[in-house]
Structure 1
């Protein structure tokens, strides 16, 4: 009995001695895991301590992990997202962890473009995603190099900040600017009612990611045969409060400054961003000065409603060096167009100021029914001395879009029905003058232009047995221009109205998911693309009354998926597009672009993208090593094309390279050091419809080296440097197609360097 009492006493004393040590050894780590792009909670994330303990985040993204010792690292991993590592975590403090979606995990990438928010592996269509990591591979002075990493898409700069986007050869009717491709920002129309898009009013830092739908997408996005580009804005993540500043300098007088403030809460988030970019130019008369202010916000007043608001103010000035002949290009690619109407003599340039405001509401009526409605307004003033005239234009525009989605069951078949519409109305006061050495001279024309564009759409998506998903969609498109000519030298005042007949654009698609890692798809879609205002009312004030809308049918089939435990991803699409009433452009003697319909074109192609992750282990010194490539084959021909006595039928399509490829290597280390290498190849490209002048093929490579480190609890630092066109290759980017006088070539920069840093303070 005495022994029993003494034994208990001994055990009690031992327990009292050990228990405080156990308490001291226990470290508790808590926090929330969120999606970096949307700020939404992520359930099911595995949290692993370097000391061996593991935990899982709950349905609200919350995790709690107790460790026996102080861990050197906490590793957050989740299928479809990039692994995040927090070094030397501090116990007792709420952690906020942001996981970036991993583009290589195709089954987890959600596509919003077809309104059903399905994973990419369950979406029938040719789609490319450009995430924030791809944009930041380069110096962010331009989106050109990021966009050109994906197959089937070509972005060019005729001059710095003068952009042109071609999807599957649609640059034929775009001697300048962006046409035949529709752009949306946060689901709100960014392409104007007149069919043009001023993408240069936006800064690359304003964009979180880009979703590109290739080919006719008129069933959901109205008139267009080129494709649709969806821009996702930057957002502040839930729980984030930070200030970030950045600065960069580079060759040819490049200076760039950014400042960003983010405040994210449970029910709302705000982002304010200012970007300033200056560039002296790699050619004469090619300077740029741009300021952009972005206000981006999102509110969640209830579980049913999400409200978002965006404002973009832009003040942009850039110069236009003009095209060079082959002889001038070979002699001195840094010169500008010369002569009496030369770019320097006439101060050829663009000065425009604009404000875009967009509001959007997503409302869930029930588990089955939801609605998304957006409204926007735009005001822009443009002051544009060109080589042969001087333009002063003021634009005002309003518009909106609404879409209802209803989920239901038809017996054993799941179904989603979507219906809605979009309307845009723009007013432009357009005046042209003589250009007297860079100043406005006598008035030539004075026009008031009202552009109205609208469409209604409907779509049904059915989940059939055996993992088939069928889609049928239809839209009815209408476009109208009302032009009132108040003044025209040599003629009287008059009115001109052009109402393009409403056209139905159907689309049918079928997808079969073979396994959780592989799917095949096929689709047939019809496209309709009326001329833009600039194609009807040319810069010299002439009206192109005979121009008709393009119409075409696109057939495509593809396969996408991943293998080797998710390390290998691939996406291959083949297509055939027959376009009728094809619009082409030619320059006249005064360098004014003249547009006309020329019969039809046959466009056959293959688009391929492949990525392979060799290393993906945050515990290793080299934590990630990835290689990737994209390749585009284009067999594009004029089918029927008769111009006066000349027959160009069978010629290669102007401005399209038969072969184009991009390849890259990405390396990351546990220490925060990273290295990106990118190479871009383009085959020789015909520059005129006659196929007598070609731009030579080229291979251009660039690299970026940097380091990202967390400095204590609140500060994050990134330092980087890079080089583009490392071999100093002479090439022309953004060539002038069918240029008068042989001025086809717009030389790109030679070898150039950049470097910078960003500092982020998190409250």
Structure 2
């Protein structure tokens, strides 16, 4: 009793104080908020929409789309969410008015997609260029262990994995000079340069979960994005909708030891948008020596300082280890595709692998000086370490870089014609300390070479866009590009001497002219002429075994293209068709020498003609029906790519097919959603036979693969949503090679892809 009495007295005292304080608080007025929610496309009412007030109250719309909610304050913020639709936030200042909310379907059509490429921020229908957009819904059709299958739905683009996490991207045949890695294609993440000054891109340091949208600009885009003949890819993180805060965790397991975990915290308000995301992916591998272990941490806050100023930051930390199984001969490929390259210098014996650690920090500011003037400026710094035991050598590289980009936009008029002027520049400087050793069973041995490489690249650009009468938009742009490499060889085993080599590529002007005509509200046609300039990367000049390639020249090309895109039949059918003709001179190709090291040379010119088509048709699109969505879509690419004026020694190769490019590729898909939350995605992919050497004497077989994902998404109460899924890839159990080694020495062309494999997982999302 002596212990309980003081405790009881204290409890009574706290209850009395709480009651007294509660009695002193003024009464809060209750207001009734009501309205209707409609489908933005069909204007039909939406049932089952979750309406959430900032203060936590929730309601559900009925069959007529009507809802009502009693809340404790006026000037409240409400979010409207429904599976298959974009979450929308509404601020209510006058509760007496009936709200009319129109939700956009998650798969936006051409009218709604805004293109940031070419710095125009226009809808796709008003963009004169071959542009494709891969949204997060497309990435989530697959298991998200990589973005390869999502990117390969885009016509004119081919993404390969020579080994898990070893990416290669080809836009209109640009993989010709990319035996490994990503070259001749520039990438930006959240508007900040991600391609290094050396010309290569470490895309595998990002995770598929980091990406909310991938925007692909095909062909030379040097007018705004500097040197390049392949194209430009703009990556955007996946942010929370305004007025929502959520936590998401997910886990996926699959065949051959796939284990994947993600955790995301995001919050959006009228003052800021915060994103923190961590992912871990492990994979034991289909082949010997093909395991992967990757950690990625992304922190990306965005602050709306004022109506004029927005500040964004990106912090990316990535730690990636992946093994390299190596190429196989056709006999090895047919006998046992799961084996790694063998022998004394085999991949297992030499522990062929790459261990990378990277941190990239960037800051971007968007500032509007007035209604007619604005500026976008970004600065970044990056540090990367790479440890790379290879079959025939061992590389250890440390790389650090800084750079920035700025662009000014002025909106004015020439007489009665609206005009938008954009001008700015970009600069990058990188320093690499590169050492090459003998590889003794996966351990660095005798030092072969010790180099320091300073890479500098930059460009200035200007662009004018005029909105002419008759719904015509004309664009003229120009850029001046410059690249330089300073290579200092501190030590070389064969000579022991020290020397310097400077390669300064002459500044090149690259113009672009484009016209677009709106034929109707839903259809537009466009045409453009552009030139490109692509200097060799640092890895092409200083090869991995330490040889300097002093005679390599920059590629130069001119691209002509015309296209039509639009949507008809009440937005149910969309299409995008582009034809192009690209002439490239001083074409760079790669070959492997006896040590399997890639060497590069200029080979004259190429002629590249092609047709790219994307079609989509919504058979059913009505959230009220049991089967709420049924959509079929497909893409097709035709490539007529040939070498011109190409002779190697006494062998004339002019007229041969371009190495590494399939003449025909096609992808088709079916999307099925139900009102109850069940969904099915089916994707088929066809790739024609591919020439694997410049002589066109070795080809990979054509193949068709089929993948499917089915699952169940459901909102559980007001705060929790659930996504349970299972899927399979290569259901046809095709034996095929993905990411072939081109012009491989010893006939080791083939990098076998996994046979039939499965995965399953769960995502849980909690809305605060």
**Fold match, TM over 0.5?**
yes
Q: Is residue 2:619 matched to residue 1:614?
A: yes
Given the alignment, which residue of 564, 567, 573 partners 1:562? 567
The aligned counterpart of 1:691 is 696
Of 112-121 and 495-504, more deviation after overlay is shown by 112-121
One of 720, 730, 737 as aligned partner of 1:725 = 730
Distance 2:146 2:35 in 1: 40
What does residue 523 of structure 2 align with?
Answer: 518
Shift of 1:98: 11
Query: Residue by residue, what CA displacement relative to the aligned partner does 1:390-432 show, whole Å, maximum 9, x if unpaired?
Result: 0000000000000001001111211000000000000000000
SS at match of 1:534: helix
**Mapped partners of 1:429, 1:65: distance in 2:** 58
Q: Offset at 1:108?
A: 2.0
* Structure 1 CA distance for aligned equivalents of residues 63 and 565 of structure 2: 44
Deviations 1:53-110 (A, max 9, x none): 9x9xxxxx9xx999998978769999xx964699xxxxx9x99999566555212211
Structure 1 counterpart SS, 2:228: coil
Q: Is residue 2:134 matched to residue 1:134?
A: no
1:418 is the counterpart of 2:422: yes
1:507 aligns with 512
- Corresponding residue to 1:341 among 340, 345, 349: 345
Task: Report whether the alignment pairs 1:644 with 2:649.
Answer: yes
TM-score by length of 1: 0.90
Does 2:537 correspond to 1:529? no
Q: Does 1:229 align with 2:233?
A: yes
Q: How many residues are matched?
A: 715
Q: Determine the structure 2 residue equivalent to 1:682.
A: 687
Q: 1-side partners of 2:642 and 2:63: how far apart?
A: 66
Corresponding residue of 1:261:
265
Aligned residues of 2:726 and 2:759 also touching (Cα < 8 A): yes
C-alpha separation in 2, matches of 1:32 and 1:485: 68
Q: 2:475 — aligned with what?
A: 471
**1:446 and 2:438 are equivalent in the alignment:** no
Q: 1:163, 1:116 → 2: CA distance?
A: 30
Q: Which one of 205, 210, 231 corresponds to residue 209 of structure 2? A: 205
Instruction: State the SS of the aligned residue for 2:519.
Output: strand
Instruction: Provide TM-score, normalisation by structure 2.
Output: 0.89
Deviation at 1:262, TM superposition (A): 1.3
Q: More deviation in 232-241 or 288-297?
A: 232-241
Aligned to 1:664, the other structure's residue is in SS state strand
The answer on 1:753 being equivalent to 2:758 is yes
Residues 250/460 of structure 1: CA separation in 2 closer, same or farther (3 Å cut) = same
Name the counterpart of 1:3: none
| Structure 2: gaps spanning 5 or more residues | 1-30, 69-77, 89-94
Q: State the 1:28 CA deviation.
A: 3.8
For residue 220 of structure 1, give the secondary structure of its aligned residue in structure 2.
helix
> What is the distance in 1 between the residues matched to 2:156 and 2:339?
32
Structure 1 unaligned spans of 5+ = 1-25, 34-41, 56-60, 87-91
Q: Give the SS at the match of 2:118.
A: coil
Contact 2:37 2:66 in 1 (8 A): no
Q: 1:356 to 1:68 in 2, by over 3 A?
A: closer
Report deviation, 1:30: 7.0
Aligned residue in 1 for 2:335: 331
1:304 to 308, 324, 347: 308
Q: Deviations over 1:22-64 (max 9, x none)?
A: xxxx97447999xxxxxxxx9999794659x9x9xxxxx9xx9
1:586 equivalent in alignment to 2:591: yes
- For the residue of structure 2 that corresponds to 1:466, the secondary structure is coil
- 2:46 and 2:707 mapped to 1: Cα distance? 38
Partner of 1:180: 184
User: What's the secondary structure of 1:366's corresponding residue?
Assistant: coil
| Whole-angstrom CA distance in 2 between matches of 1:217 and 1:311 | 27
3-state DSSP of counterpart to 2:344: coil
SS for the counterpart of 1:114 is helix
Q: Does 1:496 align with 2:501?
A: yes
- Asked if the contact 2:690–2:699 (Cα under 8 Å) also holds between the matched residues in 1, the reply is yes
Alignment of 1:59-458 (within 5 A): 83=85, 105-458=109-462
What is the CA deviation profile of residues 260-279 of structure 1, one whole-angstrom value per residue up to 9, with x for unaligned ones? 11122220111111100000
In structure 2, what is the equivalent of residue 20 of structure 1? Answer: none
CA contact (8 A) 1:578 1:600 kept: yes
The residue that corresponds to 1:17 in the other structure is none
CA distance in 2, matches of 1:608, 1:697: 20
CA distances 1:187-208 after superposition (whole Å, capped 9, x unpaired): 1000000000000000000000
Q: Is the 8 A contact 1:315 1:352 kept in 2?
A: yes
Tell whether the 8 Å contact from 1:386 to 1:435 is kept in structure 2 after alignment: yes
Give the conservation status (yes or no) of the 8 Å contact 1:50–1:74. no
Rounded to whole Å, the distance in 2 between the matches of 1:101 and 1:760 is 20
Q: Hey, what's the Cα distance between the residues in 1 that align with 2:471 and 2:128?
A: 13
Deviation at 1:373, TM superposition (A): 0.3
SS of aligned partner of 2:111: helix
Q: Distance in 2 between matches of 1:224 and 1:112?
A: 18
